[in-house]
Amino acid sequence: MKTILKRMTDDDLTEVFEITSKMLKRYLTEPEYHQLFLKEEER
């Protein structure tokens, strides 16, 4: 990944970010997202 990241354009990086965000929204519940990425405890 380190090698490819150096070669990616801003547009490429934006596309990767957008598709990753889309997949997270599709496959994780909101509590899962908060727990995994925001390191929040479950309530």
CA separation for the pair 20, 14 (Å, rounded): 10
pLDDT in tens, 1-43: 899 999 999 999 999 999 999 999 999 999 998 888 887 666 5
Q: According to the model, what pLDDT value does residue 26 have?
A: 95
Each domain of the chain, given as residue ranges in start order, spans 2-37
Taking CA atoms, 11 is separated from 17, 33, 35, in Å, by 10, 25, 29
Q: According to the model, what pLDDT value does residue 42 have?
A: 62
Asked if 18 contacts 10 with a C-beta cutoff of 8 angstroms, the reply is no
Query: Position 8: which residue type?
Result: M
Q: According to the model, what pLDDT value does residue 36 have?
A: 87
Q: How many C-beta atoms lie closer than 10 Å to residue 37's C-beta?
A: 10
Q: According to the model, what pLDDT value does residue 34 have?
A: 85
Residues in contact with 37: Cβ distance below 8 Å, sequence separation at least 6, in sequence order: 24
